[in-house]
Amino acid sequence: FLFLGPTGVGKTETAKALAQIYFGNEDEMLRFDMSEYQGEESLSRLLGSFEKNEPGILASRIMMKPYAVLLLDEFEKSNPKVRNLFLQILDEGFFTDYLGKKINLRNTIIIATSNAGSELISEMVKEKVSQSVLQEKIIAYIQKEKIISPELLNRFDAAIIFRPLGPEVLKEISRLALEKLQERLKRQNYLLTIDEALVEKVARGGYNPAMGARPMQRFIQDKIEKLISEKIIKGELTPGQEFSL
């Protein structure tokens, strides 16, 4: 799959959720930052080098976790030779490493993400363009700008467009993040009650139009967790006591 959309709208979180659902744990995800594979040596780093007798990173990690989600972040920034490798992988389901060993990816869910066309997505969402028209225009833009070749685009089962997050979605993300904190506190016998005021405060304070919902976790750490820690240290919160913020 190809996930397209602005930063902080849930592309990586969706990949983690798929790892959790299909393979039992969100850690069953092999994540590669493809902006690190822009140079000429990138292919040998992934496949391995016969001259240096070094195994490839991609080959090694797939052999260790053949049942996993393979996440290729910022896919369009990788070297053209690397993209050609994935042209073969997405078509045939395997590749050959530096020793000629066949590496099978047919039990792997492959997700490439890209921020390409983010500004266009935001503009079209403001114009209330339908999802089908949005998808068609973004794919056309990516082909026209030669960001990803038509041959490679055709290898994906689907291109999924992620829209910028609206207020209701942000509140749900806030609630999920607070519930994770609530669960962690509960294990220490501190009972946090989550109310709508707290959910809305975190949704507003943890949202940045340029970064999406990404700063939300930082906001919870800096504002909520810090406050709770201080109250515990001062003895204002005691184990087994319900409290709200």
pLDDT for res 207: 85
Pairwise CA distance, residues 169 & 192, whole Å: 22
pLDDT for res 83: 92
Across 12-21, 28-37, 119-128, 139-148, least confident range? 119-128
Q: Is residue 166 a contact partner of residue 173, using CB atoms and an 8 Å limit?
A: no
Closest CA to 48 of 106, 108, 101, 92: 101
Strands (DSSP E) contained in the chain are: 2-4, 29-33, 48-49, 54-55, 69-73, 94-96, 102-104, 109-114, 159-161, 191-193, 242-244
Pairwise CA distance, residues 205 & 223, whole Å: 9
Pairwise CA distance, residues 57 & 47, whole Å: 7
pTM for this entry: 0.82
Q: What are the backbone dihedrals phi and psi of residue 145, each rounded to the nearest 5 degrees, phi first?
A: -80, 0
pLDDT tens track for 76-133:
999 999 999 999 999 999 999 888 899 999 999 999 999 887 888 878 877 887 888 8
